[in-house]
């Protein structure tokens, strides 16, 4: 089985499960992750998702042997591993232990939040193999790191420790080895406890507004967020606060 799924308390966990290959992505893995992501998006009980790897590593990127066999690891519409170009409405948290290299780092870059163990290693070594990091590394990294630091990552292909990325704001938390999944789940459960409509709309505005003209920021934001203020959840959130109880969200 290339991928394992589980859901608990409104949080889905997708685990890349090819530890013998450092969870490198072959054709079957890409299809399985895409299916898991699609199921998570469609499941109304799921409000946040964590993606991680089995056996002490996150993901070593594309399985080069699968590449030589001609297997498809970049899927139409959803990208590498079925996730790097996926249009997700629900927050996705990466829990990284060990290596997150090449496409593995690009999966992490596609996530909304990133939790890493202090021994985690990141890199985009594609240039060392005559390839390019076009599953997100070339376009996302310069937006998430200072441009010159991003250039160093991309053009040298070297591997770096989690502390380097944390210094530049790419990692939300560094935790002791073996604790990345637990910390990611804690973060995901905090998100899942919030109003699902508010979370989805907040994520949408943050993602889309990057390319909005500055003169249109608030008008475009207000057009999207107005429905939240008119929702049942907004009334429930205010009522629950006044009544000193936990809100019961309806997602509408």
Residues identified as active-site: 106, 126
SS3 8: strand
How far apart are alpha carbons 249 and 247 in whole angstroms? 6
Tell me, rounded to whole angstroms, the distance of Cα 207 from its chain centroid.
Answer: 13
Place of tokens 């499960």: 17
How far apart are alpha carbons 56 and 239 in whole angstroms? 45
Report the chain's terminal Cα–Cα distance, integer Å.
Answer: 37
How far apart are alpha carbons 94 and 113 in whole angstroms? 6
Written as one string, the DSSP assignment of 94-151 is EEE-SEEETHHHHHHHHSSEEEEETT-EEE-GGGGGT---TTTHHHHHHHHS-HHHHH
């Amino acid at each position: 089985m290339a991928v394992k799924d589980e859901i608990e308390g409104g949080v889905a966990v997708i685990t890349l499960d090819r530890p013998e290959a450092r969870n490198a992505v072959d054709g079957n893995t890409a299809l399985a992750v895409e299916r898991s992501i699609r199921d998570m998006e469609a499941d109304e009980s799921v409000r946040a998702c964590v993606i991680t790897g089995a056996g002490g590593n996150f993901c070593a990127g594309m399985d080069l042997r699968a590449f030589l066999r001609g297997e498809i690891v970049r899927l139409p519409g959803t990208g590498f591993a079925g996730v790097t170009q996926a249009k997700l409405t629900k927050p996705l948290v990466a829990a990284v232990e060990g290596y997150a290299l090449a496409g593995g780092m690009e999966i992490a870059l596609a996530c909304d939040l990133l939790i890493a163990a202090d021994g985690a290693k990141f890199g985009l070594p594609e240039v060392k193999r005559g390839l390019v990091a076009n599953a997100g590394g070339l376009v996302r990294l310069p937006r998430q790191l200072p441009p010159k630091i991003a250039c160093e990552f991309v053009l040298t292909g070297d591997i770096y420790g989690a502390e380097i990325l944390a210094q530049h704001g790419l990692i939300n938390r560094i935790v002791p080895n073996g604790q990345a999944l637990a910390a990611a789940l804690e973060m995901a459960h905090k998100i899942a406890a919030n109003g699902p409509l508010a979370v989805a709309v907040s994520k949408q505005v943050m993602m889309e507004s990057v390319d909005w003209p500055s003169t249109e920021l608030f008008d475009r934001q207000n057009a999207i967020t107005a429905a939240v203020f008119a929702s049942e959840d907004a009334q429930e959130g205010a009522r629950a606060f006044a009544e000193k109880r936990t809100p019961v969200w309806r997602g509408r």
